[in-house]
């Protein structure tokens, strides 16, 4: 006895569960399902891709087939693919940007009421491990089930693509940029827009400004994003100013080393935050003690107490001290943050603790 | 905790006779358009190194007013003036601490040094 084949409504209902892998929204809600024909047990679906060269077309076809085959009464599924017209694409972009008619409408976190929490990772000096801290915090938040994005604002010294094991070009749907994704973490970096990793960005301020406002306004981060971590370049230059002038709400985490000489420099980052009304939520001390062997006494290569001292000076919490561990550096070079590869090592635990405290300090609103 | 800046909860319209701000601590401020333009803090008006205090008031027409006022990040307002000038970013603490024209704030600024 075979069940009777489903009707159009049931098919569309089932397809609602199929998400566009890049846009993270149901293909039905995105008006990507153009045709549904049901004849006997055969369901024929025509789906519209945003762009013909959609890199994930096979994955969309497979998801549709899998979902529909599970319906009772379906014997065969045929999926054909078409491509949206420019008008359909514009309608989709408008829909993704929150349905407003205005082309000026920007990403959701450009409104003060946005639920996305923007965390700016800053330092005074360079080379303190800002990017490493950023990717590991992102990985730790992701582990806790948070929807996380990383925006690499270190335009000259970008390193996030390598640390996340990502390369290649982002998909462009007309003027909208789809971030690359690794383990569920959405990532955008100038590195994805250059021909190769060795290419240098030799730009003056106005170009930086344009790039960052594009990253903020024209990258489709998704309105379900809970945390956007922004990896700043060191210091208090053009990039920091652009971000401060563009983001209506953001919080700052300052990364420093234990060295006391670094404290004064790091304090300037906090000074900038104060000027632009950005709240410093805490300090992360990176490159704290090194244990030459498990159980051995730590060696304080870069001195001690810098993070705590800075936290006390600013009256903010020290969110954690990350030990020096070659595995952290190896993870960054290999493109797998230590929080993902070895979450239970002392370093992995230290990062996770920082992420936990950060999420306590800046909770995402319950939806 | 880093100190939280006092921020506007209400900014009046550019069609009003003066700029009106209600602050998050309940304070009400009022700013004449001409005075606000004269005290533009941008580098072109004030100089990069704070040597000149402000632009010559006589050089600004008395009828000056903004066409619109934009919010900048979480910390400032930027008026786009009828004379085409728009580079001045007025941080909230500058508006509140240095420019507020109410009697209370004027008296506080006139005092030799605040306690």
pLDDT score, position A105: 44
pLDDT score, position B112: 72
Q: What is the percent of chain B with per-residue pLDDT over 70, rounded to a whole number?
A: 90
pLDDT score, position A330: 94
pLDDT score, position A108: 59
Q: What is the percent of chain A with per-residue pLDDT over 90, rounded to a whole number?
A: 59
Taking the domain A108-361, which CATH number applies?
3.40.50.300
pLDDT score, position B1: 38
What topology does CATH give the domain A8-96? GMP Synthetase; Chain A, domain 3 (3.30.300)
* pLDDT mean values, one per 10 residues, chain A (367 residues): 76 91 87 90 91 80 92 91 89 74 50 86 92 98 96 93 93 88 95 86 85 90 91 88 91 94 90 92 95 89 91 96 94 95 96 97 84
The closest alpha carbon to A312, from A333, A283, A288, A335, belongs to A283
| Length of chain B measured in residues | 115
Q: Do domains A8-96 and A108-361 have the same CATH topology?
A: no
CATH entry, B8-106, from 3.30.2020.30, 1.10.10.10, 3.40.50.1980, 1.10.443.10: 3.30.2020.30
Q: What is the 3-state secondary structure (H, E, C) of A59-86?
A: HHHHHHHHHHHCCCCCCEEEEEEEECCH
Q: Identify the closest residue of chain B to A242 by CA–CA distance.
A: B73
In this prediction, residue B113 has a pLDDT band, given cuts at 50, 70 and 90, of low
Distance between B101 CA and the closest CA of chain A, angstroms: 22
Closest by Cβ to B74, choosing from A278, A280, A315: A278
Closest by Cβ to A277, choosing from B1, B5, B89: B5
Tokens of B32: 């004449």
Record: contact B2-A275, CB cut-off 8 A: no
Q: Does B2 touch chain A (CB under 8 A)?
A: yes
The closest alpha carbon to A80, from A111, A46, A54, A53, belongs to A46
Residue B8 three-state SS: strand
Count of beta carbons in the 10 Å neighbourhood of residue B16: 11
pLDDT digits (tens, 9 = 90+) for B36-53: 999 999 888 887 776 656
Q: List chain A residues with CB under 8 Å of B4.
A: 277, 279
Q: List chain B residues with CB under 8 Å of A122.
A: none
pLDDT score, position A113: 75
Record: contact A248-B71, CB cut-off 8 A: yes
pLDDT score, position A104: 43
């Amino acid at each position: 006895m075979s069940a009777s084949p489903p009707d159009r409504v049931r098919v569309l209902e089932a397809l609602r569960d199929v998400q566009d892998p890049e846009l993270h929204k149901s293909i039905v809600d995105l008006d990507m399902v153009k045709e549904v024909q049901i004849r006997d047990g055969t369901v024929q679906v025509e789906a519209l891709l945003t762009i013909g060269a959609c890199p994930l077309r096979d994955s969309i076809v497979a998801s549709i087939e899998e979902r529909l085959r599970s319906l009772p009464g379906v014997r065969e599924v045929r999926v054909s693919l078409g491509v949206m017209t420019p008008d359909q694409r514009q309608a989709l972009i408008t829909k993704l940007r929150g349905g407003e008619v205005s082309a000026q409408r920007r990403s959701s976190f450009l409104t003060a009421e946005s639920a996305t929490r923007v965390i700016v990772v800053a330092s005074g000096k360079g080379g303190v491990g800002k990017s490493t801290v950023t990717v590991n915090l992102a990985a730790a938040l992701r582990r806790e089930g948070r929807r996380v994005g990383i925006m690499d604002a270190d335009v000259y010294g970008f390193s996030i693509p390598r640390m996340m094991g990502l390369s290649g070009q982002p998909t462009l749907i007309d003027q909208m940029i789809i971030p690359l994704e690794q383990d569920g973490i959405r990532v955008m970096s100038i590195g994805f827009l250059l021909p190769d990793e060795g290419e240098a960005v030799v730009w003056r301020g106005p170009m930086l400004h344009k790039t960052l406002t594009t990253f903020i306004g024209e990258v489709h981060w998704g309105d379900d994003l809970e945390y956007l971590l922004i990896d700043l370049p060191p210091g208090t230059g053009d990039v920091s100013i652009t971000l401060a002038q563009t983001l209506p709400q953001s919080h700052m985490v300052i990364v420093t080393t234990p060295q006391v000489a670094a404290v004064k420099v790091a304090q300037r980052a906090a000074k900038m935050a104060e000027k632009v009304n950005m709240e410093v939520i805490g300090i992360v001390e990176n490159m704290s003690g090194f244990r030459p062997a498990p159980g051995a006494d730590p060696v304080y290569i870069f001195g001690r107490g810098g993070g705590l001292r800075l936290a006390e000076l600013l009256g903010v919490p020290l969110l954690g001290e990350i030990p020096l561990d070659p595995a952290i550096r190896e993870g960054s070079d290999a493109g797998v943050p230590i929080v993902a590869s070895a979450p239970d090592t002392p370093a992995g635990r230290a990062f996770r603790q920082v992420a936990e405290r950060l999420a306590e300090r800046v909770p995402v609103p319950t939806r | 905790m880093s100190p939280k800046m006092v921020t506007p909860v209400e900014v009046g319209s550019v069609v009003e006779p003066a700029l009106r701000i209600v602050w998050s601590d309940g304070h009400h401020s009022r700013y004449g358009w001409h005075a606000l333009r004269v005290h533009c803090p941008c580098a072109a008006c004030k100089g990069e190194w704070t040597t000149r205090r402000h632009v010559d008031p006589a050089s600004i027409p008395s009828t000056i007013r903004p066409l619109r006022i934009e919010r900048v990040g979480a910390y400032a307002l930027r008026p786009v003036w009828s004379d085409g000038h728009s580079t001045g970013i007025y941080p909230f603490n500058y508006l509140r601490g240095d420019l507020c024209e109410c009697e209370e704030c004027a008296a506080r600024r006139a005092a030799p040094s605040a306690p």
